A and B are shown apart, each in its own frame.
Chain A
Amino acid sequence: MTDAHTTGPFIAAIDQGTTSSRCIVFDKDGRIVSVDQKEHEQIFPKPGWVEHDATEIWENVQEVVAGAVVKAGISAADVKAIGITNQRETTMMWDRTTGEPVHNAIVWQDTRTDALCRELGRNVGQDRFRRETGLPLASYFAGPKIRWLLDNVEGLRERAESGDILFGTMDSWVIWNLTGGVNGGVHVTDVTNASRTLLMNLHRMAWDEKILSSMDIPAAVLPEIKSSAEVYGKAASGVLKGVPVASALGDQQAALFGQTCFSEGEAKSTYGTGTFMLMNTGEEPVNSYNGLLTTVGYQIGDQKPVYALEGSIAVTGSLVQWMRDQMGMIKTAAEIETLASSVDDNGGAYFVPAFSGLFAPYWRSDARGVIAGLTRYVTKAHIARAVLEATAWQTREITDAMTKDSGVELTALKVDGGMTSNNLLMQTLSDFLDAPVVRPMVAETTCLGAAYAAGLAVGFWSSTDELRANWRRAAEWTPRMDADVRDREYKNWLKAVERSMGWLDENTGEE
């Protein structure tokens, strides 16, 4: 922009994501000054396995930090702090004396620990550690991935037990390297990332010894658990040498923070390939009886941790991509709106995209995708409409589960992510939720959250109230649907969901 950004100071946020690493420099108003981004390789050694080369990732992180700082035309002296946000649960281990990873990082989507998770569930099942960790035993989480590495990398267990090996999610890896690596790098993680390992006790914010022994993981490999916003150390080299490294948050928690959902009952939903919705539940963890996860939202310095309920939808943006790439009904993702807008309703069709089972709140791995209600009348435009409605109904199911678990009624939903540019989807969402849907002015809420937390830690921003004042509404959609229409449509949707279940004969997951 022509109005020169203030001359600083600034905060740099690093987003170590699933497909790329990015660095964004923000000014005091929370506006973006510069961005740099680099993708890394997705490694698929076997069906269901997904890995990243952690060395490549660290090199990319250094590059994008340098890139963003150069583009902004600033120097280390202008940057008050570095914040980190990262793809959650992706697990790696490295040698503390050489800094070499012992194996590729195992990415959150990787399902190699499915069988191990069932075995760890013993006679209790997937909820064996739910009371302590808030999570079901599932292959996403880091703990079983550590165990897999210890069991499958030759000699690793011995080296781990003798204290030569460090475990980390990507936050730990980036912070350790940033702060010096083999030359005094700090080995830490934050409460939000630790809450995704299946190894941390949510009530005590400490590694749970019983679970560690059940999973047979030596405590020596684990990082120290810190708050999400405090100075962990200083950058030891590179363009930001000497700048404090002052925040770490898992990506979805960072988006919650960036959306300034600081009060109990405030929720955000990020619409990307999949969708992740988190609701702030205040200073007490809320157990879920409706298929949601209990997780840590954030913790600022020595303040009390703030908890969140989380619900995820596996297939949202990827359903639109499927319509484009597999069905060829549209040429670009944005055209789904054009096609869907050419009709007034779904023509009676409902699309349940349970491509790899149903996630929250059902958790049915035996479900598969269904298009229900087809008649001669239905056109591809109706199907396009059903595609968008699927995302909206699935969000409604999660908000219903959140209301049941927390007892807090959703007053408004803050949204971000690529699909928020779809006006019809946002209006439909508001209609189905019967609540306002609000899009903030800075779409990069994930990086912004990391920047906010780092800025709070070094006093760049004084309080969460000041951050709230930075939040700007870019658009708001309000419900326009009659209650009886909504109720009828919801009933039809639930019937369609019913029909997707039990498709697979052999039950590969838990019931």
Chain B
Amino acid sequence: MARNIQSLERAAAMLRLLAGGERRLGLSDVATALGLAKGTAHGILRTLQHEGFVEQDPASGRYQLGAELLRLGNSFLDVHELRARALVWTDDLARSSGESVYLGVLHQQGVLIVHHVFRPDDSRQVLEVGAMQPLHSTALGKVLSAYDPVAHTEAVEGEREAFTARTLTSEADFEGVLDLTRARGWAADVEETWEGLASIAAPIHDRRRMPVGAVGVAGAVERVCPDGELKPELVAAVRDCARAVSRDLGAGRF
């Protein structure tokens, strides 16, 4: 058997101990039960407490399982919660950018559009909530692939179809784009998925800095990318929106 890390084994034993029998245990109960010195037990308990896996009752000083453990098993962010939190910010992004706004999350091998705000003109538009977009060619998909390891695996292992002449299909090119995305904090798609369309997207993080989705604008390439240059104020607006939604998730969740 490979050598295991002793303190992790001890921490696991503590969690099992707190999970069974009496709900709250004092430091000496834990130390005695596991045959540890009080100082050692205390160090581990404090670390677990810091991570939220253990909580200490302020009155009695006894320990119990922490709320973080419950969240571990069920920690995905509900996409409808994400939409509710993003609503105000995405409205404002559509209004300031003059383009359509999309909010996407990873779903199976693609990007699921969970929220869509119309371009603020009087044109007829169709709500695209529920539609799927490819991971490797869209701005939303690139952001998810750059930040979410699961999305990355899907995009690298999946087929990367060439939708247009500009679609990057080789793994090296794709990884290069993801590096760039991580370095600057946003991604773009200039006619790589649809002819005539360009988009810009940035990541949304939850309070534990986990990537939970991507938000972006999409519009005619002539407007989003005039003279072959992405409009810097659009990039800034998208990133501001992503930060605002992330802040909202961090401040108010649970």
Contact = CB atoms under 8 A, between A and B. Distances in A.
Tell whether A and B belong to one assembly. yes
Interface of A: 1-3, 29, 31-32, 332-338, 418, 420-423, 441-443, 472-477
B125 interface: yes
Contact of A337 (B80, B93, B122, B233): B80
Contacts of A443: 87-88, 91
11 contacts: A1-B96, A2-B237, A333-B84, A334-B78, A334-B83, A335-B80, A422-B84, A442-B95, A443-B87, A475-B117, A477-B127
A282 to B, nearest CB: 24
Shortest beta-carbon contacts, A-B, top 8: A334-B80, A334-B81, A472-B120, A421-B84, A2-B236, A337-B80, A334-B84, A1-B96
Nearest to B127: A475
Contacts of A334: 78, 80-81, 83-84
B78 A476 contact: no
B136 interface: no
Given A1-B237, A476-B118, A32 B80 contact: no
Contact of B118 (A418, A422, A442, A475): A475
B240 interface: yes
A420 B88 CA distance: 11
Interface string B43-56: 00000000000000
A442 B90 CA distance: 10
B92 interface: yes
The number of chain B residues touching the other chain, given as a range, is 20 to 34
Contact of A422 (B80, B122, B237): B80
Contact of A3 (B83, B94, B233): B233
- Interface class of chain B by DSSP: helix
Contacts of B81: 332, 334-335
A275 B17 CA distance: 50
B24 interface: no
Given A2-B240, A441-B94, A443-B91, A473 B84 contact: no
Interface in B222-251: 233, 236-237, 240
Nearest to A474: B117
Contacts of A332: 78, 81
A473 B118 CA distance: 7
Nearest to A340: B80
Contacts of A472: 94-95, 118, 120
A472 B119 CA distance: 9
B78 A3 contact: no
Contacts of B92: 1, 31-32
A338 B78 CA distance: 8
A2 B115 CA distance: 22
B91 A442 contact: yes
Contacts of A337: 80
Nearest to A476: B127
B96 A3 contact: yes
A473 B88 CA distance: 14
A203 B213 CA distance: 55
B96 to A, nearest CB: 5
Contact of B237 (A3, A420, A441, A475): A3
Contact of B120 (A338, A441, A476): A441
A441 B91 contact: yes
Nearest to A444: B88
B91 A1 contact: no
Nearest to B79: A338
B87 A421 contact: yes
Contacts of A335: 78, 80-81
Interface in B94-121: 94-96, 115-118, 120
A323 B16 CA distance: 33
A474 B78 contact: no
A420 B115 CA distance: 12
B13 interface: no
B129 interface: yes
A477 B125 CA distance: 10
Contacts of B120: 441, 472-474
A119 B91 CA distance: 50
A423 B129 contact: yes
Nearest to B232: A2
A441 B92 CA distance: 8
Nearest to A332: B81
- Interface centre among A1, A334, A422, A472, by most chain B C-beta atoms within 10 angstroms, is A1
Contacts of B240: 1-2
A31 B95 contact: yes
A147 B117 CA distance: 49
Contacts of B117: 441, 474-475
A29 B91 CA distance: 14
A422 B115 CA distance: 10
A330 to B, nearest CB: 9
A474 B118 contact: yes
A1 B95 CA distance: 10
A422 B88 CA distance: 14
A3 B97 CA distance: 9
A82 B175 CA distance: 54
Contacts of A3: 96, 233, 237
B232 to A, nearest CB: 9
Contacts of B115: 423
A213 to B, nearest CB: 49
A208 B87 CA distance: 45
Contacts of B93: 1
B70 to A, nearest CB: 11
Interface string B148-167: 00000000000000000000
Contacts of B237: 1-3
A421 B89 CA distance: 12
Contact of A2 (B125, B129, B233): B233
B18 to A, nearest CB: 23
Given A2-B240, A475-B117, A338 B80 contact: yes
A420 B129 CA distance: 14
A481 to B, nearest CB: 16
A333 B84 CA distance: 10
A308 to B, nearest CB: 25
Contacts of A473: 118, 120, 122, 125
Contacts of B129: 423
Given A2-B233, A475-B127, 20 more contacts: A1-B92, A1-B96, A3-B233, A31-B92, A334-B81, A418-B84, A423-B83, A441-B120, A443-B88, A473-B118, A473-B120, A473-B125, A474-B91, A474-B117, A474-B120, A475-B117, A476-B118, A476-B125, A476-B127, A477-B127
